[in-house]
A and B are shown apart, each in its own frame.
Chain A
Amino acid sequence: MTATTEDDVAMTTAPVLEVAGVTKRFPGTLALDDVSFTLRPGEVHALVGENGAGKSTLIKVLTGVYQPDEGEVRHLGEPVTFKRPIDAQRAGISTIYQEVNLVPLMSIAGNVFLGREPRTKAGLVDWSRMYADARELLKGYGIDDDVKRPLHSLGVGAQQMVALARAVSTDAKVVIMDEPTSSLEPREVETLFEVLNRLHAEGIAIVYVSHRMDELYRVCESVTVLRDGRVVHSGPLATLPRIELVSKMLGREIKQIREEGVTAFGEEHDVEREPLLKAENLAGMRKLHDVSVSIRPGEVVGLAGLLGSGRSETARAIVGAFPLDGGSVLLAGKPLKRNKIKAAMRAGIALLAEDRKTDGIIPNLSVRENIVLAALPSLSPFGLVSKSKQDKIVKIFMDRLRIKASSPEQKVSELSGGNQQKVLLARWLATGPKILLLDEPTRGIDVGAKAEVQALIDELAREGLGVLLISSELEELIDGSDRVVVLRDGSVVGELTGDRITEENVLTAIAAEADNDV
């Protein structure tokens, strides 16, 4: 679906949706700063930017979840205010969110038609028609399951397709897709692209948010790049070289990227021979099938794979936070008790979990308390809290990690994302771990903090810690790791070391296996 003459015609038609000079503030941050962009009928428009660039805020403005502080949204040339999501939907703007926003306990058909159920003459919901319509509709999306079954009986990818079917079937003129492929199987991705083609032919405009370059260049005609809440580029995509697109997203000169890479990692580390941690044949919950990973002291092991490949689950399984049916974790040759977080911690394994908000910070507590949380028992003789001991530890880590807080007593929820992440790192370092498992340690934090965290990982490895690094940013993984283990579908499908660690090789490892699988 590259630019054709047909598309050029489309470009000249009047825009279906315009965002003009929109600004949106939140306490402490300027989420959108004078953002403008235009969407024409039949256009597939890529919206890209790093985490925190303002993409999701912009989407929420378009869908009526947020109202802009300044500027306006124009629909078919007319200024509109979407006060609630339903207003946007009535205007023909449908959204499918990255996380499936449907009702798991309701039937598949019920979800598709929720809020606009077909009714009989008496005004009652016409279930038989609804089931028939849903079956018919979903066929076009590769779903032939029984539509009476509850939604949660479908896989995540299929649920995403149901969400898409719902969004499109509401007579949408604009469909916004927020990372639609992040949870799809390759086969489902193909179905999605077929649907995109169909929508394109029907003149429906699509806003396509994704991080995957291949996809963007395959389906999108134009692109708008956001960075720090501002539009840094807007125009046709096909003529924009990839490297330039990346540089615009990252806000760095191309030369710089080529010369020193985009991350703050240093050279490879000296690695001892004997693995300190050995996880063998981990399996459980139908998400892990056969994962074996070993980590040596002073080594950074990268864990690569698509979302849902079992990366987070592997890390959680190692600390006992993911129920295992099989496999074992050995630390210095000694097996750890399964599913016992406490035992793993005592043995010196620490996990920095992926989701800072839900699995990390305790929002009501101070920076100090969040840092000492995991180490508290060892700092508290007879269960009585000793503040002086805590203060010493807290000071050491706040200095070393350069945590910016007004005082150790400030509530952690008031800190920026980057500083919260450092607090969590401090929490784990305070327990004196031998193995550090880092699940997306730099996600959603600002560039400066990111570089600091990356440098810190480097430093820790130099000091002899074994690190497992999970990151969906390929460059971070490639630059930062001494060895990369590639996962797919809950199994290890490849391992790369030394010069073999390149973007291409990692992608090949993921993709090659995908072909055999289908």
Chain B
Amino acid sequence: MTATTSQPTARNAAFAGVLQRQGAAVVLVLGVAASWFAFPHFGTADNLRSLVLQGSFLAVIALGMTFVIISGGIDLSVGSNYALGGVLAAYGAQYGLVVAIVLPLAVCSLIGLVNGVLIARTGMAPFIVTLASLLFARGLLLALTSEGATTYKVDPGSAFLWLGQGTIFGIGVPVYITLVLFALGGLLLRRTRFGQSVFAIGGAEQSALLMGLPVARTKISLYTLSGALAGFAGVLTAAYLQSGVTVIGVGTELDAISVVVIGGTLLTGGAGTIIGTLVGVLLRTLIQNVINQIGTLDSNYQTVVSGAFLLVVVVIQRLLARSRTR
């Protein structure tokens, strides 16, 4: 009886769901195809190689952000953590490969852990807690670099540089690392109890609590993971740039949030995919690349287009959600 009345709406809802999840992918495919024809340089191996390499740093940050946003939270500290991770990696590279990786991961995870503890144990809003740690991490970075005046350089002979500059079959190592991380991330999200808890917390936190899920522990892990991944993106960037650049990462949190949302993850939590985020990152890198291809265009249009694109996606998401409830 209920089945017959709800069928057309069910179909609409299913369609809305597909659009929500696959919309970005469709735009990406169309965008790549159009760019291929429009710009002679676009389809060259060099350009495509640099396109995916450029995308990989943001992708690592966005991976952590995907988890956080699915849980209904937000992490604004990733940009600062990213920069801090880079500086620490460049600094640590003096003491060898292990220090260059472990030091930034440890510090950035710790910042993420503090975020998580404050959010999960005191019930403070994620947005404000991570806003504070955005400031804190940036302050720490400045303190470590004599107010931004010191730029740690990585010794050109260091094995550490392979992480950012090495290639396998002509494609940059960061791209492979990113793909591995995304595969692991997908496994974590879809195939573990932890991942299911993340969805549950984002979908209905009160229910998750009543069902006996480890809500606080999951949240703490999430923010720690996000901090660690942001720090690791910094490590890769330091290896790529051969130095700990102090001015990177300003506004990166917004880029990360944008690509996650563009990838179909609901900002209200409870639904989202890892692959969608990857699509979102590629789409953003594509836009950046196209604006560079046009050449005559002011590079500042990049952010204008990003902002507009984010807006369009969010408005569409919202309208779809509305059509689903009606």
Contacts and interface: CB of A to CB of B under 8 A. Distances in A.
B117 interface: no
Contact of B10 (A86, A119, A153): A153
Contact of A85 (B202, B209, B271): B209
B192 A125 contact: yes
Interface in A352-405: none
B210 A65 contact: yes
Interface residues of B, number: 31
* Secondary structure class of chain A's binding surface, majority of residues: loop
Interface string A208-223: 0000000000000000
A95 B210 CA distance: 9
A153 B207 contact: no
A101 B207 contact: yes
Nearest to B13: A153
Contacts of B197: 114-115
Contacts of A295: none
Given A114-B196, A114-B200, A115-B193, A105 B270 contact: yes
Interface string B9-52: 01001000000000000000000000000000000000000000
B125 interface: no
Contacts of B208: 103, 114
Contacts, number: 82
A371 B139 CA distance: 49
Given A101-B207, A124-B187, A155-B2, A89 B212 contact: yes
B190 interface: yes
B200 A101 contact: no
Interface residues of A, number: 31
A76 to B, nearest CB: 20
Interface string B170-209: 0000000000000000010011110111011011101111
B210 A97 contact: yes
B5 interface: yes
Contacts of B5: 286
Interface in A136-162: 153, 155
Contact of A117 (B196, B203, B207): B196
B199 A105 contact: yes
A115 B210 contact: no
Contact of B212 (A84, A127, A285): A84
A106 interface: yes
Contact of A124 (B192, B199, B211): B192
Nearest to A102: B207
Q: Which of A84, A106, A127, A166 has the most CB of B within 10 A?
A: A106
Given A115-B196, A117-B193, 12 more contacts: A65-B210, A86-B214, A89-B212, A90-B212, A114-B196, A114-B213, A115-B197, A115-B212, A125-B191, A127-B191, A153-B10, A155-B2
